[in-house]
Amino acid sequence: MQGETVVIEEESPPSRQAWRASGSLFVIVMFIGAALLFAYSLWFINTHSPVEERFNQRRRPLAADTAGYYILRERAGDYLRTALTVDTLDATAGRRHGIAEYDVEGKTVRLEVEFIPDATPTLDTVFSGFFERSGGTDTATVLKRFPEARTPYYFAVFSGFTYTYYEFGWINGNWILRASTQDAGQEALLKFANGYVY
């Protein structure tokens, strides 16, 4: 009987270079996936979160003696002032009040500021006069208040027959600030309010 020789061929393990290539590909795929997920989450938050939840609460403090031209400045963020009513804004004592209008994407946003020296403003104080400003009545109104926020604020909407009026109102020290619009829309109003430093 003759002995048979059996040759067993062993498979060689993959080279280190092949492992590195597949590992690098995996890392690249994971990185792209993470970047896409991050981009989607930013889009989802900015388009699906209600406007009032995206209000910027980080504001510079507004001192009692801040000059009117600093508050109703010629340029607020990316927007130019188109009208100014100084009223009592430059007074040296007592209540101070002024209004400016800004061009936001071809539409008008109104910014009203008021200083109350003798009392700490509340959101009720800020909201008072809303129906006169909106030209509406006390019906068909949405009002969301955030009194415990870092910057206490509210977002209010009046829906009329031919227009919708939007308003953000907030408190900065003893100052009341209101940004409003009838024609720019709530997203444009939010963009303006978030770009305004006070």
Distance CA 195, CA 79 (A): 9
Pick the CATH number of 54-195 from 3.40.140.10, 3.40.1000.20, 3.30.420.40, 3.40.50.170: 3.40.1000.20
| Mean pLDDT of the region 45-70 | 87
User: Three-class SS of residue 116?
Assistant: coil
Cα-based distances in Å from 69 to 11, 62, 169: 81, 13, 20
Half-sphere exposure of 108 (CA within 13 A, CB side): 10
Q: What is the pLDDT of residue 47?
A: 60
Q: What is the pLDDT of residue 189?
A: 95
Where do the domains of the chain lie?
15-48, 54-195
Q: Is the dihedral of CA 72, 73, 76, 82 positive or negative?
A: positive
Q: Are 181 and 102 in contact (CB under 8 A)?
A: no
Distance CA 98, CA 88 (A): 6
Among residues 118, 111, 117, 129, which one has the least CA distance to residue 192?
111
Q: What is the pLDDT of residue 40?
A: 62
Helices (H), the chain: 16-48, 68-71, 123-127, 130-134, 186-195
Mean pLDDT score across all residues of the chain: 85
Q: What is the pLDDT of residue 48?
A: 65
| Mean pLDDT of the region 178-182 | 96
